[in-house]
Amino acid sequence: MTDRRRMHEGNGTMARKDFVFGVDLDGVVADFIGGMKPIAAEWLGVPEQALTDDVSYGFKEWRLGGERGYENLHRFALRERRLFEVLPVVDGAGVALRRLSRRGVRIRVITHRLYIPWFHRQAVMQTVEWLERHGIPYWDLCFMAAKSSVDADVYVEDAPQNVEMLRAVGKKVIVMRNSTNKHLAGPAAETWAEIETWVLREWRGGGRVGV
C-alpha cells in the first residue's frame, strides 16, 4: 500500500493519513478588511467609520484613487505599517486549525502575498512572524498566485477568482463568506466551526472529488 493510500483510525472512522487542507490566509485566517481599514483611513485622511465594511474585491468602495490606488495603499501598509504582522486573526481560526492539525490533517498555507514587486522579503518575514505569533500550525507555506497549481485534497478560499479557478479544475473548495463573494455557490461557511466540520467530513469520506 502506498503512503497516499495508507489509512488509520481517527475517531472511530477510517481517515487518510496524508490528507492535505489548503488554507488561504487573507480573508480566511487573517482579517484582511479589519486590519487594512485603519491603515486605509490614515492613508486617505478620513475617519474609519467613513469606510464601509461591505467592500468588493479590490476595495473600490473606499475610493483609493485610480488604478494604482490599491497598490499604493498596499505598499504603504506593508512597508510602513507592517500589515501582515498586525492583521487580526479571524475568530476561531487558530483553534480550529490547531485541532485539525492535532488530529492529523496536514495544513498547507497557500497565499498570494507577493504581488508588490521588491517587497517580497517583508511580505514573507511578516507572514512567518504572524503565523508563529498566533500559533497557526502548518506543514507547508506556499506563496503562489496560481493556487490551482498547488495540490491539496480540499481548500478554503474567499477570493471569487481563486474559488472559480480551483473549482474549474475539479478541486473541492469551501468558500469563506464575506462581502466580496456573496454570489458564489456553496459549500460556504460563515465561521471556522463550519469549516472544521466540513473538512473532517471530507477527510473521513476520503476527500475525493465528486464524492
* Interface positions, 5-24, toward Mg ion (CB under 5 A): 24
Q: What is the largest CA-CA distance in the chain?
A: 62
Nearer residue to Mg ion within complex by CB, 16 or 113: 113
Inter-residue contact 137 to 96 (CB < 8 Å): no
CA distance linking residue 36 with residue 81, whole number of Å: 10
CA distance linking residue 206 with residue 194, whole number of Å: 18
Interface with Mg ion (CB under 5 A), residue total 5
Pattern of binders to Mg ion over 120-159, x per CB under 5 A?
--------------------------------------xx
Cell numbers for 103: 488530529
- To Mg ion, the closest distance from the beta carbon of 106 in angstroms equals 20
* Interface positions, 24-53, toward Mg ion (CB under 5 A): 24, 26-27
Pattern of binders to Mg ion over 166-205, x per CB under 5 A?
----------------------------------------
27 backbone φψ class: left, alpha, beta (φ>0; ψ -120 to 50) = left
Cell numbers for 162: 481563486
Q: Which residues are catalytic?
A: 24, 26
